[in-house]
Amino acid sequence: MKPLLAGLPKKLPDENEAIEEIEMAPPVNGVKLLVERGQLGFGTFAYSPDPAITEMIGAAGFDFVIIDTEHASLDRKDVEQLARAALAGGATPFVRVRDQDPQLVGQALDAGAAGVVIPHLKDAATAREMVRAASYPPQGTRGACTTSRATGYATRPFADYVAISDAQTWVIAQIEDPEGVSQVSQIAAAGVNALMPGPSDLAAAFGVPGQFLHPQVLEAVGRIVSAGDGAVPTFMYINDPSEASEWIARGVRLLIYSIDYKVTARAYLSAMQEFKRLAPLPAATHGAANR
């Protein structure tokens, strides 16, 4: 009888020796490449936990998907599945974390995100902390896990992954409070890779909830766009494709078109409105088949 361990190699590779038989491409931030080339990038928010929806978004030609754990009901397993689906569809995955927590930043990056969106950033000190959380020591504080999805499950040299990740990972500062607007220039200079206005929260803070095009909201958003001064790009959320041209004319190169749920709901609502025009139904019969 052969010894129990006879089939194992005499020496196991250390964390910086790749398994030769398996090759996994290192993560690449496709949005970073678009910005460096001066090209436009288009994305959307992913709220649905269904990986097929996220993969479909990429297959449709969108450049990036922002997986939302702040407002959507997504857990860590969902984030990993959606990051995988985004890449399968050809889109770069980002994750909006639910809070300004370094551990959440590390978890999102370990799941395979190319970067994180930090909500409600109000000051440069917090921005610097989030930048450190997304980088490995000695520059940062990110925990070193050699067997995460992002590292290829230990199939590539960990040192190579660290170098690539530190060079490619983006920290996106979402400015969505009056305090953040007043400090946006300092935040932009704190090492973040991009800015993102939060028109929904800004509108609520100004007492005009839902009015993204209110003059006070637009003025605040304009200040955020200008704060990058060409060096720090801006992601701009739009509700309709018709809004894109105005922001592109103002120098914005990264457009976030709505939310997967909202796009789906509007498509069905539009179809239903068309059906009603073709054959108007009494209001009392709406949904009767389901009662």
Rounded CA-CA distance 246/95 in Å is 26
Question: Would you put residue 124 in left (φ > 0), alpha (ψ -120 to 50) or beta?
Answer: alpha
Query: Does the annotation mark 71 as catalytic?
Result: yes
The torsion region of residue 14 among left (phi > 0), alpha (psi -120 to 50) and beta comes to beta
CA distances from 203 to 151, 177, 207, 245, 287 (A): 40, 9, 6, 22, 34
| Sign of the alpha-carbon torsion through 159, 160, 162, 166 | positive
Beta strands in 29-113 (DSSP E): 41-46, 64-68, 92-96
Phi–psi pair at 118, nearest 5 degrees: -105, 110
Q: Which of 71, 120, 214, 286 is catalytic?
A: 71
Q: What is the number of H-type helices and E-type strands within the chain?
A: 12, 8
CB 212, CB 220: distance < 8 Å: no
Contacts of residue 206, Cβ cutoff 8 Å, sequence gap at least 6: 178, 214, 216, 217, 220
CA distance 240 to 247: 12
Q: Using alpha carbons, select from 164, 177, 264 the residue that is nearest to residue 217.
A: 177
Tokens of 30: 């496709």
Q: Which amino acid is at 203?
A: A
Closest to 126 (Cα-Cα) out of 108, 107, 143, 105: 105
Residues annotated as catalytic are 71
